[in-house]
Amino acid sequence: MDWNNQIILITGGTGSFGKKFTEILLKEHAPKKVIIFSRDELKQHEMQVAGFNHPNLRYFIGDIRDRERLHRAMHGVDIVVHAAALKQVPACEYNPMEAVKTNIIGTSNVLEAALDAGVKKVLALSTDKAVSPANLYGGTKLVAEKLVIQSNNYAAGSSTRYACVRYGNVVGSRGSVVPLFLKQRSSGKITITDERMTRFWLSLEQGVRFVIKCIEEMEGGEVFIPKIPSTKVIDLARAIAPETQIEIIGIRPGEKLHEDLLSADEARNAVERDAMFIIQPPETLWNRNQHYEGKPLPEGFSYTSDNNTEWLDLEGIKKYIAPFEELYKQGKLEG
């Protein structure tokens, strides 16, 4: 794929993912133009002040709830990476319709605007919380995934294609537990909800590079899932603050002990590669005779954070969090 001639728009482009995606894309792939689409003018200003002022970079103020603004922003765009979402679980629980308006209706607006504008590829970011969701955030992301995949029906007679990437917790991203634990460490006590809890983990750079690879490979209708390590949350706390007291405060409503990236039901229609799983497009109206290399999965297979074959030990966790330790010391770590 020739990135040099591509115009890329990133919704939620001022977030942790958007900034790292923009940095790597401009440095290594030199696209024709990158458009940051987000609703917060302060974050756009801060992003520019922090050095994101490349001549091929543009900033659009806009909300994915505003379909007309999306239409304007997508004019001439080749690729859309849809990263905008309300993702804080407690905030989504307390403000359910706001989560629906952004994560579901906003996603629908992105998909329809992309089709109307003749965008070639739309890749949406999803989460392990969309699998067997236990909270409203996960529920909205499940619906968003279904909208993305089935939008290939609408686009059957056009060149627009839609796909999803689904992965786990990004170390140190906004809302991550890593900044929280670093701040709690100074108080002498770290709180976790259950000592049995496990989570999938990947670095921001891993997530970005996986998304770039999936954009290059997508044909439309896939859900791409990276193979990533698991960690016990209590081990994460011990790696960050080995001398600090750990208090178990009890699991919260809508919180899972373990997360799922691929359910047993989905695995029947998935293939495995060395570094990823791909959930193939379902039987659809847009049958384009797509074929995905990879081996089928055994009956009953699932990919969850507690049955993972790859785990981070304390030393492995420390390597992941080392950059955020330094940012925390400098007072630059986003919570």
Given the residues 43, 129, 141, 227, select the one marked as catalytic: 129
Is 129 catalytic? The answer is yes
Structure tokens at 123: 């890749």
Tokens of 4: 């040099």
Q: How far apart are CA 82 and CA 215, in angstroms?
A: 12
B/e letters for 304-314, b = 16+ CB within 10 Å, e = fewer, are bbeebeeebee
Residue 141 CA to residue 132 CA, distance in Å, equals 11
Nearest to 261 by CA among 278, 274, 281: 278
Distances in whole angstroms, Cα of residue 221 to Cα of each of 17, 156, 206, 231? 22, 11, 22, 30
d(CA 229, CA 30) in angstroms, rounded, equals 31
**What share of residues in the chain are helix, strand, coil (percent, to 5)?**
40, 20, 40
Q: Which residues pair with 38 in a beta bridge?
A: 61
Helix residue spans in 192-284 (DSSP H): 204-217, 233-240, 264-267
Instruction: Spell out the residues 6+ positions from residue 234 whose beta carbon is closer than 8 angstroms to its own.
Output: 192, 195, 197, 246
Provide DSSP, 89-121: HHHHHHSHHHHIIIIIIIHHHHHHHHHHHT-SE
Task: Supply 152's token pair.
Answer: 């290939």
Separation of alpha carbons 323 and 328, rounded Å: 9
Kindly give, in sequence order, each residue whose CB lies less than 8 Å from that of residue 92, ignoring residues fewer than 6 positions away.
Answer: 86, 98, 99, 103, 135, 136, 137, 140
Residues with a known catalytic role: 129
